[in-house]
Amino acid sequence: MAELIVALDFEKAEDAYLLAEKIQGEVPWVKIGLELFIAEGPYIVKKFKEMGFNVFLDLKLYDIPNTVKGAVYSALKAGADMLTIHLSGGKRMSEAALAVCNKQKSGMKIFGVSVLTSFDEGELIGYQGKLSDLVQLLAKNAEEWAMHGIVCSGLEVEKIKSIAPNLLCLTPGIRFDDNKSDDQRRVMTPYNAVMAGSDYLVVGRPITRADDPKSVAKRINEEIQKAKKDKNR
């Protein structure tokens, strides 16, 4: 599988549209996060759908089950193809989110957020164990609750696939090298992420801040295709 998602982390819709126009035809998915969604509202989802993109709405919902249920329905009506919730919200919250998709017979996928890739070991308040152990626990829960997928570091994908094979893995923190050059701490290259088993690769600044975003996206897609071939040998 392995598809590229470009994170449109902009303050204004105009900047996001301009970037999206530059990557049309090369990138199948765009990600709309909290910053842009709060600034522009649900209409922006419809706009990117009209441009031919699949839309990943990365809102990381975390609230009481009934509130999350209503928010998921609103995202579905807006046209989102994928939505995130926090797995730490628990079973009832997660199942409430999934119930909306099932009732509406929607193709929208619900992905659970495990541990944010900005966290490094020892930084998660109230938890002193290994982050990888917590991610694995959340992954097991996600599969038991019939979630469509999980958001995790590329470093965690292989283990997650071994313990929760039915989960799709969405991997942020994708870079052309493994240097921790910004707020992402658990990063991985596109090639290595696909080889590990990632199904969706989220890339932001390496593309959005490039002089030629489409050429960078093309390079990433070439790495994805190379990894697919090598993986199937």
Q: State how far the Cα of 72 lies from the Cα of 75, in Å rounded to an integer.
A: 5
Give residue 16's identity as a one-letter amino acid code. Answer: A
Catalytic residue (choose from 46, 47, 49, 60): 60
Strands (E), 114-230: 149-151, 168-171, 200-203
**Residues ≥6 apart with Cβ < 8 Å to 74:** 42
- Total residue count of the chain as it appears in this document: 233
- Asked about 22 being catalytic, the answer comes back as no
Tokens linked to 33: 């996060």
Q: Which backbone phi and psi does 174 adopt, to 5 degrees? A: -90, 125
Q: State how far the Cα of 36 lies from the Cα of 9, in Å rounded to an integer.
A: 7
Q: Are 186 and 167 in contact (CB under 8 A)?
A: no
Q: State how far the Cα of 34 lies from the Cα of 11, in Å rounded to an integer.
A: 10
Tokens linked to 109: 């996928």
Catalytic positions: 60
